[in-house]
Structure 1
Amino acid sequence: MIIGVLEVDIRLFSCNSLKDKRRVIKSLISRIRNNFNVSIAEVGDYDLWQRTHLGIAFLSSDT
């Protein structure tokens, strides 16, 4: 069994408000979930509108 964990710190230069950040992050998270079979969530930097911290985890039974 393989377990993978990834933490990503992303700078969002095009966002000018928290509303812009939410729109971009929501789109990014849904695209990653649709393309890959992973769990993903925003895990930090909630109030900073030009940064986000994402946590990604996956599990595989292939050995």
Structure 2
Amino acid sequence: MPVAAMTIELRIEHAQSLKDRRQVVRSLKEKLGYGFNISVAELDEAVTWRSATIGIAAISGSRDYLTGQMQQVEAAVNRIANDLGAIVADAWWDFLEDA
């Protein structure tokens, strides 16, 4: 069964504290989790409050379905991050080996 994994690197220029950073990350995770049938997690430790790395995973019986879903998720991430005052510095995804 194919598994897709996406990594998103965010810049949160307006963050003045760890609390500001957490608010953006938490909001992004919640909105993605509610909108798509995916797993979302923060991957890095809060080394700096102006950046964050988010990991997303999805599984399906169809690679074509996952391709479309990852494209939709990437578009949603850009839109949501922009609404939250963050910038997607980089985003990439790929299929993990079929188990």
Alignment of 1:26 onto 2:26: yes
Matched residues, percent identical? 32
- 2:16 partner SS: coil
Q: How many residues align?
A: 63
TM-score normalised over the length of structure 2: 0.59
Q: Provide TM-score, normalisation by structure 1.
A: 0.89
Is 1:35 matched with 2:35?
yes
CA distance in 1, matches of 2:61, 2:43: 26
CA RMSD of aligned residues (A): 1.3
Q: Which has the higher strand share?
A: 1
| Correspondence 1:8-19 to 2 at 5 A | 8-19=8-19
Secondary structure of 2:47 counterpart: coil
Listed one character per residue, the Cα deviations across residues 17-62 of structure 1 (whole Å, up to 9, x for unaligned) are 1001111111110000000111011101412100001111000123
CA distance in structure 1 between the aligned counterparts of 2:45 and 2:52, rounded to whole angstroms: 5
Partners of 1:26 and 1:41 lie apart in 2 by 9
Residue segments in structure 1 that go unaligned for 5+ positions in a row: none
Q: Secondary structure at the residue paired with 2:57?
A: strand
C-alpha contact 1:6 1:56 (8 A) present in aligned 2 = yes
Find the aligned partners of 2:8 and 2:24 in 1 and give their Cα distance: 15
